[in-house]
Chain A
């Protein structure tokens, strides 16, 4: 064997991370081994600590160290407006715009029977409960514009409508600042289908 068992083990651990192949993993291992002992210990502690402390917000399922996350606790936010997203990073993208003043609900996935994601796994019953009791008047669904994201949007919309809640889906189409000639056929078709009167 070329490397010691400890090194092989660490390579295997790094390889579990997304986007890390065997070569990158080995590079990371060599780097870690060249670091100061204290630094490595700090890194290991940070990993374990983050995993131990961070959990899902009881209300919106955002990642937080408290029971209720800081977004949900912010009283200046509009309680009647709810945005449903797939992943925490999608929420971050919307937050960055500063244009959305409502609250969020994070599904941590999309409906996909093939992968075993049903309404239960996405905690859609919790979402419906929130709609019923949380004073929500309008829901914006911002799931991804693919087959699973659309299915999720239709499912939530179908469940929300009997509650008298207004449901909308974020718009899809051309990227702002881009030229029309660079749009692929499907994006362009969707943009045409979703055109608006001006």
Chain B
């Protein structure tokens, strides 16, 4: 998958930019605050109809402008998709169009193989569980529309149940109402648990291999799914998961009524990074944590490659803190991609030895919301 062209209007610090890209490695260079990350964010937005960092659409609009608009062509397995994403601040109206047709469900999620990295990902191990849950959900939604559907319904049910738990009603009636919502929590929750378990175990085994082979780290990395049911081995049998869930939720009922919010379910789960069985959050060094996260990102890439798909990588500031050995290992992963966007701040040619192995690469220079492609003969050309 690759991005062929992109037009940004009033997006972040871009007023109007028309850009063309080719498959291969696209290096986006610029000083801090010039718009490198914004460009990558726009590419993500083009593919998924929203930002990756939980930003509101109104945050994406250029200061004091009434709207933002992103257009572009995404080529997936040689088939071009004309994508349009727009948002009007005054009307709070968002429109996503695919090949000129309005797409209300943003159903492209689940179709585009994209792996992206943002510097905040490095913090994932040390941050709170909701950060890691957001990661799990974001990544799985991207490959499974069904999961996304389950999740939307599940969150809605949790909101309804929490409201009931806060209401001042008779205990008998409260219990009756709880059963109604719990039944659906068990239904959708079990399906979410099943999918999470399947995906995390795939990521874990790939990441563990990457950690050892790619980064030559000596410890064993494992990523463990801390499911809400406290089961070690989750079965693939959905009815069995439902049964366990049903039993557990019954047990927590009294406690939930006392505390006034729902205590059990996928909305309270976590992802644990372990090195030789010890929690990376507490025992691993900064460098080890970084290797663990990049191993996980690499796992996502390999996951797509295993499915015979060549994904798009969006990598924001991946290299800033990597040593040469690790950089080289990262470049070896890029062979599995059809197109890679990487941002760098430095201007010198330190990437050249790595790029020698690739035939297709291009350079872009970003300065104050303007993007220039730097041609090999030193001449520069502005698109706009």
Candidates B105, B150, B163; contact of A113 at CB < 8 Å: B163
A146 to B157, CA, bound (A): 10
Query: Top 3 nearest A-B pairs by Cβ distance?
Result: A113-B163, A185-B146, A186-B149
Tally of A interface residues using CB under 8 Å: 18
Q: Which of B110, B144, B159 has the most CB of A within 10 A?
A: B159
Q: Is the CB of A147 within 8 A of B149?
A: no
Candidates A118, A147, A185; contact of B184 at CB < 8 Å: A147
CB distance from B281 to the nearest CB of A (A): 35
Task: Point out the residues of chain A lying under 8 angstroms from B156, CB to CB.
Answer: 147
Q: Is the CB of B164 within 8 A of A113?
A: yes
Q: Which of B145, B160, B176 has the most CB of A within 10 A?
A: B160
Quick check: is B153 within 8 A (CB to CB) of the other chain? yes
**How many A-B contacts are there with CB distance less than 8 Å?**
51
Chain A interface (Cβ within 8 Å of chain B)?
111-114, 118-119, 146-148, 150-151, 154-155, 158, 184-186, 189
Task: Point out the residues of chain A lying under 8 angstroms from B179, CB to CB.
Answer: 154, 158
**Extra contacts besides A114-B160, A154-B180, A184-B105 (7): CB < 8 Å:** A147-B160, A147-B184, A150-B184, A151-B181, A151-B184, A154-B183, A158-B179
CB distance from A160 to the nearest CB of B (A): 13
A184 to B106, CA, bound (A): 13
Q: Is the CB of B157 within 8 A of A147?
A: yes
Q: Is the CB of A184 within 8 A of B107?
A: yes
Task: Point out the residues of chain A lying under 8 angstroms from B149, CB to CB.
Answer: 184-186
Q: Is the CB of B146 within 8 A of A189?
A: yes
Could you give 16 example pairs across A and B, Cβ below 8 Å?
A111-B177, A113-B164, A113-B167, A113-B177, A147-B153, A148-B160, A150-B184, A158-B179, A184-B105, A184-B145, A184-B149, A185-B146, A185-B149, A186-B146, A186-B149, A186-B150
A184 to B108, CA, bound (A): 12
Candidates A151, A154, A184; contact of B160 at CB < 8 Å: A151
Q: Is the CB of B160 within 8 A of A155?
A: no
Q: Which of B105, B145, B180 has the most CB of A within 10 A?
A: B180
Task: Point out the residues of chain A lying under 8 angstroms from B160, CB to CB.
Answer: 111-114, 147-148, 151
CB distance from B71 to the nearest CB of A (A): 25
Which B-chain residue is minimally distant from A114 (CB atoms)?
B163
A148 to B156, CA, bound (A): 9
Task: Point out the residues of chain A lying under 8 angstroms from B145, CB to CB.
Answer: 184-185
Q: Is the CB of A158 within 8 A of B176?
A: yes
Which A-chain residue is minimally distant from B160 (CB atoms)?
A113
Q: Which of B158-192 contact A (CB under 8 A)?
A: 159-161, 163-164, 167, 173, 176-177, 179-181, 183-184
A166 to B376, CA, bound (A): 77
CB distance from B9 to the nearest CB of A (A): 23
Asked if A158 meets B157 with Cβ closer than 8 Å, knowing A114-B163, A189-B146, the reply is: no
Q: Is the CB of A111 within 8 A of B146?
A: no
